[in-house]
Structure 1
Amino acid sequence: MTKMVNTVLGPVAADQLGKTLMHEHFFFGYPGYYGNTLYVNDREDVLKKGLEVAAKVKAHGVQTVVDATPNDCGRDPELLKEIAERSELNIICSTGYYYEGEGAPAYFKFKQGIGQAEEEIYELLMGEITNGIGKTGIKPGVIKLASSKDQITPYEEMFFKAAAKIQKETGISMITHTQEGTMGPEQAELLVSEGADPGRILIGHMDGNTDIKYHKRTLDTGVFVGFDRFGIQGFVGAPMDEDRVGLLIGLIGSGYEEQLMMSHDTVNVWLGKAPQFPAELAELIENWHVTHIFENIIPSLKNGGVTDEQINTILVGNPSRIFGGEVK
């Protein structure tokens, strides 16, 4: 039986997702952005940019994008739906909360203090997955999880445990944020120990770490690993792309090609006042855009001996398989 995954336009067969970017943000705002009333984003401007981004990735054969924006960072499923309708691009949205240090923890930490958080987190995530987000009827296709640098805090652990329980009950897939590539094995081990299916887990931002033994330790739990910050280099603990490419080639050569994914973690519209990066940093991240993998990274991989078939596995086969499909 063909497995289905929820997109913002409704269910799509996992075998029909095609070339997929597993971790991008059409728009994103750090919690609190809405408090700066001098910078209120115009919906039409955000929509226009979203359609431009969709056209760019479609020009490279991309059929599906997973928008990894969690509930507390400006997620807007109806805007994503309009982008998907007008661009004819599959967009999968998320349910979940960002990591404690850059998320909006006050609400659930208060509930945690009176012993009511875990039940409500489960209720929230399960409610969105089964009934849709708010009154939109739009169902998320993934749970988004996140942890801090060098630790999974008690606050974050509540979300991981709730997500694992829901994954067992519904079969939904999960994508994660590892801060600066730390806690990858620990995230995988926690989720699997709580009963989640490792074949439905993508440990994200692992390209923040270039230790091949660390990657293999994570991969050997059976999960997928994301090289999903291509273009981000020189800040937030991110290595240079050339080092990531070398590591990716090494992992492919070690036989892990069926557990690897690629993406950029782009923020195509910043909600609130957009950051103005210093000139030196702006130069380092000039390739942080949605076509960088296709224009620069794939040619580098091919120069390193990676085949078209292996690239197809990473961009088409693996995204299909994490959602229960069988595309190779």
Structure 2
Amino acid sequence: MSKVNTVLGPVAPEELGVVAVHEHVGYGMPGSELDTRWWKTPEERYAETVPKLRRFHEYGGGTFVDVTGICNGRDVDYYKSLSAKTGVHIVACTGFVGGDTALPFFERAGVDYLTRQFVHEITVGIGGTGSRAGVIKVGVSRGGRMTDLDLRIYRAAARAAVSTGVPILTHLAIDAEPAVAVFEEEGLPLHRVLFGHADDGLNAPNTPDTWLAGRGGRIGFDTFGYETELEDPPFWARPRRERLAHLLGFLGKGFLDQALVSADANCSPLGWPGVKGHTVNYLFEELIPDLRDAGLDEATITRLLVHNPADFLTIQN
């Protein structure tokens, strides 16, 4: 039977519903939980997060993919509680947001060790939670070039993906050629990789989205809501209409089946204030209306938010 790993156990792909494929319950850099300026009690984090996930569920959202990764605040027991409380399926990840977020223990690890770590979290469980990871996270470190550690993580992720059938999701798709080379060397078809943040304002000009799609890769337009029109926009912000036009242009080139959308929001950020007013619910409150206004029909919108992510997340053994 086809399945997707969630924190409360495997579910059938057709049960996922609308999927927010690149999100965070709470993301922070290693050590951020010790920063007294931004520290929150578990009760405060819970009170901040539950209403957002409940609203997501009320809008029709079915599945929230948390791609926080090892060392960045991943808390699977917390995710299990949130999922049970709100009715939202939560998919947890193994892997790292980027090599520069890996603590020294993992920074010193070789490919074989990292592969075993990823495979264990996918097939046995994350820590003592009993919950299995449903996706592998990898990423390009700050600086915009793949580091030796990034490449080790990518290679380990590729081997784990081939072994387990779980897909890979990337933080950034810049410096893509070394990543593609690793995946191809390890025998991983690129349709099992979602190359993320193709649409962010800082990196979009350096992201070869159509080249990646032409080779079979999936492309994440997953920073919707980070707009220059905000009162205090982040450095990766982009004009709202420009980002939407980028997605529409990509779809117009025949890549509908390879496009996925999300907001990359934080329900309760760790070690930083987050972006005021930006939540996963941007998908329902702004993006879907924008897509309709642009002339996309309901079948196309369903493809972007339901069918494409379900196909991507389904374990392929």
Give the TM-score normalised by structure 2: 0.90
Code of the aligned partner of 2:226: I
Q: Distance in 1 between matches of 2:50 and 2:225?
A: 21
Q: What is the match of residue 220 of structure 2?
A: 226
**Structure 2 counterpart of 1:204, from 196, 213, 225:** 196
The equivalent of 2:265 in structure 1 is 266
Identify the residue that residue 306 of structure 1 maps to in structure 2.
Answer: 296
Residue pairs, 1:98-247, within 5 angstroms: 98-101=97-100, 103-109=101-107, 111=108, 116-148=109-141, 149-178=143-172, 182-184=174-176, 186-208=178-200, 209-210=203-204, 214-234=208-228, 235-247=234-246
Quick one: distance in 2 between partners of 1:256 and 1:159?
A: 28
The SS at the match of 1:182 is coil
1:212 CA drift (Å): 10
Determine the C-alpha separation between the residues in 1 that align with 2:63 and 2:27.
19
> Unmatched 5+ residue regions in structure 1?
277-284
Specify the code of the residue in structure 2 equivalent to 1:259: Q
Shift of 1:40: 4.1
| Structure 2 counterparts to residues 67-82 of structure 1, below 5 A | 67-82=66-81
CA distance in 2: counterparts of 1:304 and 1:177, whole angstroms: 28
CA distance in 2, matches of 1:257, 1:296: 20
Q: How many residues align?
A: 308
* 1:128 Cα offset (Å): 1.2
Q: Cα 1:182–1:140, aligned 2, differ >3 Å: closer, same or farther?
A: same
Shift of 1:61: 0.8
Deviation (angstroms), 1:170: 0.8
Give 1:306's aligned amino acid.
L
Change (3 A) 1:61 1:222: same
SS at match of 1:206: coil
Distance of 1:213 and 1:70 partners within structure 2: 22
Per the TM alignment, residue 107 of structure 1 is displaced from its structure 2 partner at its CA by 2.4
Is residue 52–residue 279 contact of structure 2 (8 Å, CA) maintained in 1?
no
Residue 32 of structure 1 deviates from its aligned partner by 1.6
CA shift at 1:89, angstroms? 0.9
The residue aligned with 1:275 is 273
Report the equivalent of 1:282.
none
Rounded Cα–Cα distance in structure 2 between residues aligned with 1:292 and 1:298: 9
Deviations 1:1-25 (A, max 9, x none): x311110000001122111000111
Partner residue of 1:66? 65
1:202 is aligned with what amino acid? L
Identity of aligned residues (%): 30
Q: Determine the C-alpha separation between the residues in 2 that align with 1:240 and 1:143.
A: 30
Contact persistence 2:226–2:237 (CA under 8 A): yes
Q: Give the secondary structure class of the aligned counterpart of 2:26.
A: coil
Give how far 1:300 is off. 2.0
Contact 2:166/2:314 (8 A) holds in 1: no
Q: What is the alpha-carbon distance in structure 1 between the residues aligned to residue 124 and residue 166 of structure 2? A: 14
Q: Is the 8 A contact 1:80 1:91 kept in 2?
A: yes
Q: Relative to structure 2, which stretch is displaced further, 64-73 or 147-156?
A: 147-156
Contact 2:168 2:194 in 1 (8 A): yes
Q: Distance in 2 between matches of 1:236 and 1:155?
A: 25
Aligned residues of 1:261 and 1:318 also touching (Cα < 8 A): yes
CA distance in 1 between counterparts of 2:207 and 2:268 reads 36
Q: Is the Cα contact below 8 Å between 1:26 and 1:268 reproduced in 2? A: yes
Note the residue ranges of structure 2 that are not aligned, 5 or more in a row. Answer: 229-233
Question: 1:316 aligned to 2:315?
Answer: no
- Deviation string 1:277-328 (CA, Å, 9 cap, x unpaired) is xxxxxxxx655222212222222222222211111000001011112389xx
The 1-side partners of 2:44 and 2:277 are apart by 22
1:142 counterpart letter in structure 2: V
SS at match of 1:246: helix
Query: Cα gap change, 1:269/1:173 in structure 2, threshold over 3 Å: closer, same or farther?
Result: same
